């Protein structure tokens, strides 16, 4: 989708078209060994046969390049860098691959840096700022299949605002990242933003990202402020939303921010700690008919828990509901309206709320 390969016909969404393409290629054994890889990161892992890979490299005229910086310095002399559109850098710890390759790849549309845990984000952006055709940028590191921080100066420079064609940005695992520059609001073509595990972030402002559809913030700080999300009425993915009232500060995410974001689909986890009381008849979740999985995490809400639960009534089409840490003596009456519910998980619910589950099989 970030490369604009999916052509929309009629009212179909690109995500649906892309999923149909993927499923068809799986049926034809083009993709093999498909499995969910770290679901909190929104990733699927699969592979293709070596023969298919080599054939695709031939028919695409070497537009794709996987480069390992551990290779000998002169081993890449025959690579036609001017034809490369999509680049994966393996273990770019020495900086050799960055300095030698990027200035020669003027037509890059994709950069993925893997195992770049010792490389400076500042330096990466200095090298890619001239790549005006860049659509996809992933700077999360992987070690034993677990993304972790790129361990140096973690500051996104203002020059990122020049990458106006960027549609997919993944900075997951950068726990030392403290803030995102305001110029990121200039990335009006951005569709997907992944910040999973960026626990150092205090604020994420998405209000100006008018085309943003998918936001991943799981494992960020519980105090992270997600500003402007109420403006994104067409948002489809939000994996985690913390509603935390801190006694030393009045700011924080509010229930009202989600009220009109009704195109959410898939799964959403809401974390509540000392949450503010919800306005009567707030109907924060009831209109989200495409949301199939909902997880409610209560933490030290005490007296407000039953009132909050009442205001979180989901759409009757909900298929999976998980409730963690709820301390009320009864669940809300809306339980009886969940006719499509297939999975119900109750975790550490202190009073078990038995009364509201009587008669349900």
262 and 213 co-located in one domain:
no
Can you give the pLDDT at residue 147?
Answer: 44
83-90: long-range pairs with CB below 8 Å, 24+: 83/107, 84/108, 85/109, 85/110, 86/110, 86/136, 87/111, 87/112, 88/112, 88/114, 89/113, 89/114, 89/116, 90/66, 90/114, 90/115
pLDDT class of 148 with cuts at 50, 70, 90: very low
Q: What is the mean pLDDT of the chain?
A: 83
Q: Count the residues in the chain.
A: 361
Q: Is 53 within a domain?
A: yes
Question: Which is higher by pLDDT, 100 or 167?
Answer: 167
251 and 293 co-located in one domain:
yes
Instruction: Dump pLDDT digits (tens) for 14-23.
Output: 889 999 999 9
d(CA 280, CA 76): 65
CATH of the domain at 200: 3.80.10.10
User: How many domains in the chain?
Assistant: 2
Can you give the pLDDT at residue 122?
Answer: 64
198 and 243 co-located in one domain:
no
45 and 193 co-located in one domain:
yes
Scan for tokens 């993709």, then name that residue.
Answer: 31
Residue 240's nearest CA partner among 179, 172, 185 is 172
Q: Is 31 within a domain?
A: no
Q: Is 301 within a domain?
A: yes
Structural domain of residue 210, as residue ranges? Answer: 36-221
213 and 335 co-located in one domain:
no
Instruction: Dump pLDDT digits (tens) for 207-251.
Output: 999 999 999 999 999 999 999 999 999 999 999 999 987 655 567
79 and 197 co-located in one domain:
yes
257 and 311 co-located in one domain:
yes
Backbone angles phi, psi at 111, to 5 degrees: -130, 125
Helix (H, G, I), strand (E, B) or coil at 148: strand
Q: Which of 83-87, 258-262, 307-311 holds the top average pLDDT?
A: 258-262
Residue 304 DSSP class: G
Q: Is 96 within a domain?
A: yes
Can you give the pLDDT at residue 144?
Answer: 36
112 and 79 co-located in one domain:
yes
Residue 105's nearest CA partner among 63, 139, 44 is 63
For the entire predicted model, the pTM comes to 0.88
95 and 243 co-located in one domain:
no
251 and 206 co-located in one domain:
no
Q: Is 269 within a domain?
A: yes
């Amino acid at each position: 989708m970030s490369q604009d390969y999916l052509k929309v016909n009629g009212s179909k969404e690109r995500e649906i078209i892309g999923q149909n393409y993927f499923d068809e290629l799986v049926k034809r054994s083009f993709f093999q060994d498909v499995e969910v890889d770290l679901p909190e990161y929104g990733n699927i892992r699969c592979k293709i046969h070596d023969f298919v890979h080599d054939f695709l490299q031939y028919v695409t005229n070497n537009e794709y390049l996987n480069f390992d910086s551990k290779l000998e310095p002169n081993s890449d002399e025959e690579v036609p860098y001017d034809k490369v559109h999509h680049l994966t850098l393996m273990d770019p710890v020495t900086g050799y691959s960055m300095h030698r390759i990027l200035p020669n790849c003027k037509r890059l549309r994709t950069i993925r840096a893997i195992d770049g845990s010792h490389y400076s984000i500042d330096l990466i952006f200095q090298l890619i700022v001239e790549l005006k055709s860049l659509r996809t940028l992933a700077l999360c590191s992987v070690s034993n299949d677990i993304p972790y921080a790129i361990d140096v100066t973690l500051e996104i420079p203002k020059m990122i605002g020049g990458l106006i064609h960027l549609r997919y940005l993944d900075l997951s695992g950068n726990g030392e990242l403290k803030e995102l520059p305001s110029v990121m609001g200039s990335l009006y073509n951005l569709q997907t933003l992944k910040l999973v595990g960026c626990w150092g972030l205090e604020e994420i402002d998405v209000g100006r990202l008018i085309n943003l559809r998918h936001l991943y913030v799981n494992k960020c700080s519980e105090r992270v402020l997600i500003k402007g999300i109420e403006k994104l009425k067409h948002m489809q993915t939000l994996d985690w939303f913390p509603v935390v009232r801190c006694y030393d500060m009045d700011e924080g995410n509010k229930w009202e921010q989600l009220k009109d974001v009704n195109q959410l689909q898939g799964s959403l986890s809401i974390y509540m700690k000392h949450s503010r009381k919800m306005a009567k008849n707030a109907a924060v979740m009831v209109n989200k008919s495409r949301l199939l999985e909902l997880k409610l995490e209560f933490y030290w809400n005490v007296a407000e828990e039953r009132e909050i639960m009442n205001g979180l009534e989901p759409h009757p089409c909900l298929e999976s509901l998980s409730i963690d840490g709820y301390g009320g003596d009864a669940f809300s009456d809306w339980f009886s309206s969940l006719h499509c519910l297939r999975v119900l998980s109750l975790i550490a619910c202190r009073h078990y709320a038995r009364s509201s589950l009587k008669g349900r099989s």
